[in-house]
Chains A and B, each alone.
Chain A
Amino acid sequence: MPLTKRIIPCLDVDHGKVVKGINFIQLKSAGDPVELAKRYSDEGADELVFLDITASHEKRDILRQYVENVAKKINIPFTVGGGIRNVVDARNVLCSGADKISVNTAAVEKPEIITELADAFGRQCIVVAIDAKRNLSPSPGKVTIQTVDGPVWFEVTICGGRISTGIDAVAWALQTEKLGAGEFLVTSMDKDGTENGFDLELTCAISERVHVPVIASGGAGLPQHFVDVLTTGKADAALAASVFHYNKYPISLVKNYLCNAGVPIRQ
């Protein structure tokens, strides 16, 4: 059997509670990250990603506490991202029990942080998150991909897609891979929330060029979308939130679907 493709539910956490619509029945408290993590883990999730969106000075303690509680309860790998800006923040999260940390804005503002983190903890626990948006205006020097919409390049955005940086996402992936990225979490800001499929061209453009694993994110709505991104899109893993939260397509169903489509999956 080959290495399997990974299915990763993503949980947005604010002040230690999972936010965004969660529609599980049989949960005592819908927003408890530990309970949800356990549930996803039992349903066959291969990994989990927690995105901490708490913006306050008491952040660190809250973060440390829930990361620790999650680590005590689940026995699959999990990544924590959101507001990690330096080695101290990263150490707090890792020593509380996270397996990987994800950096986004901090890396764009100060790329050397990736090397510092990789040197301190090993590159396998450094996930570089890239939020990318299609840019249809031709621009010299950018990696241009032919799509059904014509030639596009992918632009890195920060702060939840609100700020465009002018940075070419493909070039940025190659640069940060050299700096020490151990994995990429590539989110399509065009597809995120649409539920009409991953951006296969974006995922493929990055995955074909880097030598570390790529997690595709943004746009999952149907089981077939997972097949598409893990085959045509050449992703190593696929991340989704709402399809799993609303229990529209439970993880086990998506995994069965993938298995029937011939995608190597852990069951």
Chain B
Amino acid sequence: MQKAVIFDYGVGNLLSLKCAIERAGLDVFIGSSTQDLAQADAIVLPGVGSFTPVAKKLAGFKEIIQTKVTEGVPLLGICLGLQLFFEESAEGPGEGLALFKGKVVQLQGDLKIPHMGWNTFNSVKACELFNGINNEKAYVYFVHSFYPVPFDECVVCAKTTYGLPFTSAVVDKNMYGLQFHPEKSGDVGLQILQNFVKIVTR
């Protein structure tokens, strides 16, 4: 039986995510040690907290995460978890996991920040996470003030418009990043998590 770990940075609500992944059909535990990461069949970096303290907390686990990803273990990053895939963030000092080249920048413009609420996304390239989802009608829940700017455009698999279009999902091999919260996105979010579970359990 496969098991995913939700990496605990020590802040905020992880219960909703745990319940949502369980509902999608995968065993999951919350952990924060090298051993927890080592024994997991999938790693989830949740979307709670802010860049600098979390990057600091993750610094000691960079190597094990990289090793697991190289071994082919699926990695899912949600919101801040996705932003940590990159090298640096305008939110504050610190080093991300640098699994993807590029940086995280702040949303700009006259619109209200954070970008909070339900919005759609446009698929720009096929991604298994979005199997069975009709993009035009699929609303997902966002709450963020920053977004990733990948160096390599071909990792971008979805974009969302809030004032200007920004990258709302990335994928590269077994690494999947979502700027929105699937665990808070109703049935659409459940479908996305079920697609992730299919990837983990095949």
Contacts and interface: CB of A to CB of B under 8 A. Distances in A.
Interface of A: 1-6, 41, 46, 68, 71-72, 75-77, 94-99, 120-125, 182-183, 210-213, 236-237, 266-267
B13 A99 contact: yes
Given A76-B141, A213-B112, A99 B16 contact: yes
B119 A71 contact: no
A68 B15 contact: yes
Identify which of B116, B120, B143 gathers the most chain A CB atoms within 10 Å of its CB: B116
B13 A98 contact: yes
A124 B180 CA distance: 13
Contact of A124 (B136, B139, B143): B143
Interface stretch (B33-41, B57-65, B67-75, B183-191): B183-191
Contacts of B162: 2-3
Contacts, number: 100
Contacts of A182: 114, 116
Contacts of A121: 11-12, 48-49
Q: Which range contains the number of B residues in contact with the other chain?
A: 35 or more
Top 3 A-B pairs ranked by shortest CB distance?
A: A97-B15, A266-B139, A266-B118
A244 to B, nearest CB: 18
A94 B184 CA distance: 14
If over half of B's interface residues share one DSSP class (helix, strand or loop), that class is named, otherwise mixed; here it is mixed
A236 B12 contact: no
A47 to B, nearest CB: 8
Contacts of B115: 3
Contacts of A123: 114
Contact of B118 (A4, A94, A124, A213): A4
A77 B11 contact: no
Contacts of B114: 123-124, 182, 212-213
A94 B143 contact: no
A213 B111 CA distance: 10
B189 A75 contact: yes
Interface in B77-134: 112-120
A99 B49 contact: no
Given A1-B120, A212-B113, A41 B186 contact: yes
